[in-house]
Structure 1
Amino acid sequence: MEDSIYMDASAVIVSSVCHTTTNGPLCEAMLGQHRLRYWRRLAGACVVIEDQRQELIRNFVWPAVSADLIFEDRYLLGTALARPCIVRGIIDVAKRVGAGYISHGATGKGNDQVRFELGCYALCPEIKIIAPWKDPNFYKRFPGRQELFEYAREHGIPLPVTPKCPWSIDANMVHVSYESGILENPATHPPEGIFQMTTDPEKAPDIPQVLTITFNKGLPSSVVIVGDATQVRDPLEIFCVCNSVGAKHGVGRTDIVENRFVGLKSRGIYETPGLTILRAAHLDLEALCLDREVRKIKAYLSTRMSEMVYNGLWYSPEFEFTRHCISQSQKQVTGSVTLKVYKGNVYVLGRSAPVSLYNQELVSMDVQGDYEPGDAHGFIKINAVRLREHERVKQIAKST
């Protein structure tokens, strides 16, 4: 019988080798000894844990920062970015042990089934996938959450969901998301104490924190907290500093209704502190360094790329092409941005770049510079031609 792999948001399990991938501090609880014991019993396997945090930040989060990825204007893709990282680890293990099957526990209504399966097929076309939530025998036996809870209790399977916390949680080092249960009603307010990563902005420190983030060709290269002489350069540590500062000051909370790839609308509540700070800094630096028309095209590509990530198309040809285009736009995006973080908000204080399109002398109202104001007469007249014609046609239409 061929080996098979089971996966969820934090783990890859092989029938002969149990492999888990950790990508965040909250995963530590998910990978507790009680759960590992259950996995061993389930798979009859030893457990190997691999730390994928550097992989997640370097190869998935950093490209998202340089591309300013955000889905439907509000979701920073914390879950969606982790999925291709997990898939890559799963396929590596499958190939290493010769597994022919991969199984996952994603539901038949969500995005993760698409993200996991498309990623697996892209990286290993011959792989076969077992998806219980799409098997009628399974979902007829377990039509809802209560039936699953009861089964777990009967079989001693530990669950993070309890009657006091009746919602689903997905956590990695980038973010925490909450959905389902009582949150399925979009009018229900987030219960007190639901958030695990960030401080309530109303209870955040009264003293703001200031930090300077430096980018090299669009990628974060260092961060310094003002008042602390330490300059952090390691990608994982840069992200952890931004995460820690953002979480402390209540940054990155959002509550949205989004459009799933399968066609359903769903309500999600998210905490994404570090990525919120990094995106704000990168966007501001781009305004200094990018040509106006390039920035417009890049913004369009960013929207499309965000949709690709959300829909599980990280390993698609269109994603590869778009990512290459984005990287071309980032060649001159080098410089530093100083921000103030305070009670749930991020404020840009200033920015600088060794090479930028901002010409202070040219734009100054105090210096003439290499600019002739009289040239604006012709510029304005040419641009007014179509406006005059538009008004002429409107007047003709009114008189007929």
Structure 2
Amino acid sequence: MEQASLPKRSSVRNQRSAPKGTKKRKKKKGGFLRFSIRLFWSLVLVGAAAAAWLFLTVSGNHFRYLIADTLITTQHRYLAKYIIGQDELNKRVAEYNKRFEAMGVEKDTHQIKLPVQTQTASAEAGKEMEKPPLVEIEEVSGKGYHGYVMTVHDPTKIRLGVPAKRGKGEKVSSMVKRYGAIAGVNGGGFADPNWKGNGFKPIGIVISQGKLYYNGLGKNATTQVVGIDRDGKMIAGNYSLKELDRMGVQEAVTFQPRIIVNGKGLIKNAAEGWGIAPRTAMGQREDGAILFVVIDGRQPTYSVGANLYDVQQIMLKHGAVIAANLDGGSSTVLVKDNEIVNKPSSEYGERYLPTAFLVFEHPEQADIPNIWAGLNPRDIDPSKK
């Protein structure tokens, strides 16, 4: 019987000298390469599908314009051109401005009926009916946003605060504390070059205590205002200075758009809501109570923000018969009892602003001097720190 031959010595040496993990490493390298190739082509396919959805479908186009509108409200407006193109960006901004102007034209005919103190007719009569607190705050939330509604039950208790020093705006929390106010929210817009302005140069006009504090318009121009007259009636819409004087406007700033007039909303749907952002708005109920809606934004784990349609619907739900947008974005802030209630989106906290609507228990005692007296608006440098 033949014996099995032994392997050659050289073969044994070759087997012994081969590294143990060589084959495994080759398999791993080959597997990783195949995985990387598959991943690359998967990403290409996903990217192509996403691009096709964004540019070739109705829902994709809506989403693309939503992102663009949202960017338009930020300091990174220029990025919107990479989503919809520069020409479309310019057209979009012009369309919104035209639409906002049109939303301020309809004549406002709303009237207010301030509540009168009455006596109870019950067995415990003799005591006046309990009045609600001057200021009440409630939380509101919806899809992607969280915020607050502040109700001021007596509109005649509101005054417009301005900064303490020339050359720089002031934080709303500082104004509330310095003036001795109960509460406050940010007011009108201001010149803000590269979103690094000093907050001292308002846009349009500022009226406080019935006096024109700032006029960046000229004599015969009109502007979109948000304010209150001497009787506590809210004023919002497009007016000239002569009209505002004839109407007895007490406190006012320039901003737009008006979103509710004569009890009806002017924004048809979310697509016309001018993107998603932190928001501040002011409205009024038939009983005279003023509503301030403050929505936080740009904080994905907390609140992304709201569009103007969302704000309009919150106002209508709370009984507003007139309402208008105020400066929002990183300016949005609500202060009550010297505490900031909301979460401002600015990484630096509160911004320095030229105006704030402040609530006082005794507004007649508020000393609010005109910080712009004697200054020519053309000479104010909004970028000077």
Higher Rg: 2
Query: Which interval holds the TM-score relative to the shorter structure?
Result: under 0.3
TM-score if structure 1 supplies the norm length?
A: 0.22
Relative contact order (C-alpha < 8 Å, sep 6+): which is higher? 2
